[in-house]
Every structure is written in structure tokens, then in C-alpha cells.
Structure 1
Amino acid sequence: MDFFTPVELPSGMPRLSQSDELLLMGSCFATHIGECLTHAKFRTDVNPFGILYNPLSISAALREVVADKVYTEDDLFFFRGCWHSSMHHGDFSASSAPDALRHINTRLRAAHARIHRLDCLMLTFGTAWVYEQAGHVVANCHKQPDTLFTRRRLSVQEIVADYTSLLSRLTARNPKLRVLLTVSPIRHVRDGMHANQLSKAVLLMAVDQLCEAFPGQVFYFPAYEFLLDELRDYRFYAEDMVHPSAQAVGFVWEKFVQLCLSDEARDIMQETERVRKALSHKPFRPDSAEHKHFLEQIVLKIDRLNQKYPYLDFQNEKEICLIQLKE
């Protein structure tokens, strides 16, 4: 007897490895998967503008990355004791304009440096509902009064036209680029349940059309379906009943590993997990010769992995071992 309906797994997905350059942008679900990839030693840049929810703000951010935009104080506004950017999440806000600009431009420079050598661009769309101010879609309202904005829902055609232009430009400059699109399973209940469903439908239709327009370059990872159709239970949500639980994120991550990681990438994950578990070991006597030898073996293991896979970054792990060896 079956107690759930499995989601049909897509075929022909791009297979990623730790040697690839990845950029993830979009809703907080992109952050969840980005954290998992970083933990698995992938070379990732995750949300250089902070969490972004709607497709047009994500595409605008990508265009700024490509153009190597430098933010100035004219791009910020002051509200409730902080300087904000309407293109950035509140994580970039600061009590002084120089601090906000320093954080914003540092992340922008890093993203620009890798944008044209990316192997994979992963974008997670959260909602088709947008807020406009002076005719422009804003990424974040920063809790300003609703009266300052006009709220509307994007159309499928609007999203497809915007991304057809953007992706054509990116793939022409970087033919090896593969774009992985997802729709966030996080429900935007503040929009209303029916409005949220309409919003997700718009996003799913737009993604489907983009995959058809860019065969072999643009792919869809069904995170939305995994949570809504395969798990389909409130026990897989956090206490707010909106965000996926840690268990649900782990489930989707396992599907991602199965569908999108190469065999070598999975082997490397096993090796790096052994290093992580060894470092988490709590010694009975940290100053003992036995523990010193244990740390030396971890360093040796890291050095061997770096010789085999020079693109893996074990700097933090190695520093932890070397500091303890000097004590």
C-alpha cells in the first residue's frame, strides 16, 4: 500500500561538482540549498543581494551584477534610523550610509568577478506579487507604509520576456552556463491562500516556458512539488506553518544530490563529511599526545584531499587543527 504520491523525477539534469562555480539567488529556499552546497564544499555565492522574492527583482539584481554597478548614497534612503537599499534585503541595512555601501559593494564586486565564469546559476522564485514605487519594482519595502507602493501580480508573459532577454545575454557570453530554476515551496500566506496559489501558478508556467525556450540550458528542479505533493503534511513545516522544517529541507536536499550532483561530487561529500565528524570529536584530554596525533592525521587527510581536489577549501578546518596543535 502506498502512503504518498512520489514526484516524477526529471531526467537530463545538469550534474554539478565541487569544481564548478555556482551562484544562487532568490527566496530563502535558495539560502537553504546554498548552505547545504557550501557545507558540501561547493564553490558558491549565495544571495549577494540578500533574499529576493520576485523574479523581476532577481533579474534586476543579476543585471546589476553583470554591469558591475557601484552603489552610492544616492541609491539609498533613510528610514527608521537606518540606511536601506530598495534592491537589497534588510541584512544590508545599516545605521550609517558608508557601512551599508561597504557591505553592498563588497558583495557586488565578488559576484561580478565570477558571473561570466559560472557553471551553474540557480534561481528560486518565491512570489509573482510585486510592489512598485515610482514605476519600478522594489525588492524590499523595508516596512515602509503601504501607501507608498502599488501592489500587483506579474504575468507569465512579463516574466518570460524579461528572462528571455537576460538569459540570452548570459548564455551568449558564457555558453557553458546552465541555469537551474526552482519555485519556492514557502507559502506567502500574507498574500492570501488563493492569491498565493495563483502566484505560484504564474511562476510555474513562466518557468516551464523558459525551459522550453532554452532546451539543454535551462532546467527545472521540482522543489515545490517535493514539498507540496510528495511530503504533503504539516509535520514537514516549521512552527509558522509556512517555511519547510529542517527535515523537509533535508529531504529536498537529498533529492537535489540524487538529481544534480555527479558521482565524484557525492564521493567528495563522503570524504569531507569524515573530516567534519573527526573535527567534531570532543577529546577527553586535549593536551594528550594521542589527541595531537589525531589532529595530525586530520591535517594529513586534508592535505591528501587538496592534492587530489585542489579546488576544495579546507582553510578553516586546517586552521582549527593547527591552532590546537600549538596549544
Structure 2
Amino acid sequence: MKFRTSIPIPKSKNPIDYNSKIVSLGSCFAVNISEKFDYFKFQNTTNPVGILFHPLAIEKLIDFAVSGKQFTEKDIFFHNERWNCFDVHSDLSTSNKAEFLENLNAIIKSTLQQLQEASHIIITYGTSWVYRNLDTNEIVANCHKVPQAAFSKEILSVETIECSIQNTIDLIQKINPNINFIFTLSPVRHLKDGFLENQQSKAHLITALHKIVNYQLSIINYFPSYEIMMDELRDYRFYAEDMIHPNSVAIDYIWERFCETAISEEIHSIMKEVETIQRGLAHRPFNANSEIHQQFLSNLQDKIAKIQNQFPKIQF
């Protein structure tokens, strides 16, 4: 008997392997998947300006990188004793103005290089809801705890999202025509927007994404993270304590489905070896000086040397 449905996911025409260079952008779920890439020692870069939730924020980052734009003093502001920028996450904020600007522009420069060299880009959208700065009439990526009265809240239309996604694709292809795109929708529920509003937000993203994907199947893959959470893992035991974010069991399961369809089968055995090494490195012995432990370390180094001989870019 089957007690749950399983979403059929087509295998990627251009799967990821250990020679791939991956750039991941988007919501906090993009971070969850990137942590898996890091654990299994893929070449991976994640969210250079921090977490970005909506399509326009990601498009703006790509536009800055591809166009060689520079952040200037008019792009930053002082709030809560720190310099901030509405286009980046608060993790980058700092008390030193010159250092902040220098860091932002260095990130933009390195992002351009990463996009030029990438074989795959994974973009995870989280929401259609955005905040517009009333002073500048521009949509922001992050409000930085500026009083809500400074913003108006609105939802992006399907047409606006579709246009933004296509602009993002076009900008990246301009500097890297051979890159492979993987789009996905975050399974995190943005309930602060409201229950119905969250569903409306996800529906706008899904509709726009599928319009784009269906037109360009040769270069774009859609991975159904959100759909897996909703249809395969439809139980609160797969959520964290906040009942909003997927827990570690759910993340592990979604990663397994991703491996089945987006990562080359030829390297699955290598990934298992990497995992064995990672567990060995995390092992804490009862007696670090014992002969048994020293032999364990010697065997572990042999395994590392074997992996690195085959894939020199893998570093533990």
C-alpha cells in the first residue's frame, strides 16, 4: 500500500557533478541547500549580498554585477548606528561607512566573476510581497528595521515577476551563454503576510515561473521544493518549532530528491565517500592518543588522499 504521493521530477539534461561551479541565490531555503553542497564539497557560492526573497531584488543584484555598477553614498543610509543598504541583507551592515561601500563594490565585482565562471545557477524565490520606499519610490530587498511608515506594501503581479525572471536570465546569458538554470520555490511559509496572502504570493511565483520554464526547457530546470513540502511532506512533523520553516528531516528529504534528479548519478558513490570522511572528521574519540584512534586517523587520511587525487579541488 502507498500512503503518500510522490512528485515525478524529470532528470536534468545537464546534471551537476564535481567539475560544476554553482551559484545559489535567493531565500533562506537557498542557504539550506547550499549548506548541503558545502558539506559534500561541491564548488558552490551562495548569496553574496545575503538572503534575497523576491525576484526584483535578485534581478537588481544581477544587473549591478553584469553592468558593472558601483554602490555610492546615495545607495546607503545610517540607521541604528550602522550603515545599511536597502539592496542587501543586514548581515553586511557595518559602522564604518567607507569600509561598507568598499565591501559592497568588492562583492559586486566578485559576483560578476562567479557568474561568468558558473556552470549552474540555482535561484530560489520566496515571496511576491515587496516593500516600496516612499521617499525614493523604489522596491527594497531589505527594510533593515526602518519604521514601517517609511514603506508601502504591495504584491508583484504575475506579469511583473515573469518580466523580472526573464530579465535575470537575459542578463546572465549575456556574460555566460552556456550556464544552466535551476529555479525553485522556497517551501518556507511567509505567514507574517497572512495565510491567504502567502498562498496568493506563492501562486504568483509559480504561475510566472512555469510560463518561463515552459518556453525554455532546453536551458531551464524547475525543481519542485515547495511542491514536495506541500504534497509529499504534508505533516507538521516536517516543520521546525515555528511551524513555518522545514526542519532538518524535511531538508534532508528534499536534498535527496534533488540528488536523484539534478546531480549526476556517476558521482553519487563519491558523495557517499565524502560523507564518510565528513563523519570521520566530526568524530570525537574517547582517547585521542590510543593506537586504535591513530589507526582511524591514518585510514581517514588515506581516504582523503584518494578523493583529492581524483578531484583535486575537493578540500577538507
TM-score by length of 2: 0.93
Do 1:13 and 1:259's aligned partners in 2 also have CA atoms closer than 8 Å? no
AA aligned to 1:149 is: F
Provide the C-alpha distance between the structure 2 equivalents of 1:140 and 1:23, rounded to a whole number of angstroms. Answer: 21
Residue 216 (structure 1) aligns with: 218
1:138 Cα deviation (Å)?
Answer: 0.4
1 CA distance for matches of 2:99 and 2:288?
40
**Distance across 1 between alignment mates of 2:71 and 2:305:** 40
The equivalent of 2:240 in structure 1 is 238
Asked if 1 retains the 8 angstrom alpha-carbon contact of 2:12 and 2:262, the reply is no
Specify the alignment match of 2:48 in structure 1. Answer: 48
Task: Please say if residues 7 and 230 of structure 1, whose CA atoms lie closer than 8 Å, have aligned partners that are also in contact.
Answer: yes
Structure 1 stretch displaced more, 43-52 or 278-287: 278-287
Displacement of 1:81 in angstroms is: 1.5
Determine the C-alpha separation between the residues in 2 that align with 1:92 and 1:258: 35
Aligned residues: 314
Aligned-partner Cα distance in 2 for 1:11–1:266: 14
Q: Which residue of 2 aligns with 1:322?
A: none
Corresponding residue of 1:84:
84
Q: 1:251-290 residue pairs with structure 2 within 5 A? A: 251-288=253-290, 290=292
CA distance in 2, matches of 1:67, 1:186: 32
Any idea what the Cα deviations from partners look like across 1:188-217, whole Å, max 9, x if unmatched? 111111111111000001110111222211
- Comparing 80-89 with 155-164, which one deviates more in the overlay? 155-164
- Whether the 8 Å contact between 2:59 and 2:167 is mirrored in structure 1 is no
Moved more, 283-292 or 141-150: 283-292
Partner deviation per Cα, 1:299-321 (whole Å, 9 max, x = no partner): 3322221111122123xxxxxxx
Tell me the CA shift for residue 160 of structure 1.
Answer: 1.5
- Determine what percentage of the aligned residue pairs are the same residue: 35
Q: Which SS does the other structure have where 2:124 is aligned? A: strand
Alignment partners' CA distance in 2, 1:192 and 1:103: 36
- CA distance in structure 2 between the partners assigned to 1:156 and 1:299 by the alignment: 53
SS at match of 2:22: strand
Among 303, 306, 309, the residue aligned to 1:304:
306
2:176 is equivalent to residue 171 of structure 1: no
Contact 1:76 1:86 in 2 (8 A): yes
- Structure 1: gaps of 5 or more residues: 315-327
Secondary structure, aligned partner of 1:121: strand
1:25 aligns to what SS in structure 2? Answer: strand
Unaligned runs of 5+ in 2: none
Counterpart CA distance in 2 for 1:262 and 1:282 is: 32
* 2:206 alignment partner, SS class: helix
Is residue 71–residue 101 contact of structure 2 (8 Å, CA) maintained in 1?
yes
2 CA distance for matches of 1:151 and 1:23? 30
Task: State the partner residue of 2:29.
Answer: 29
The answer to whether the 8 Å contact 2:62/2:172 transfers is no
Cα distance in 2 for partners of 1:143, 1:280 equals 38
The equivalent residue for 1:188 is 190
Tell me if structure 1 keeps the 8 A contact 2:29–2:124: yes
Which amino acid counterpart does residue 6 of structure 1 have in structure 2?
S
Q: What displacement does 1:37 show? A: 0.9
TM-score by length of 1: 0.90
Residue number in structure 2 paired with 1:154:
156
> 1:116: how far off?
1.0
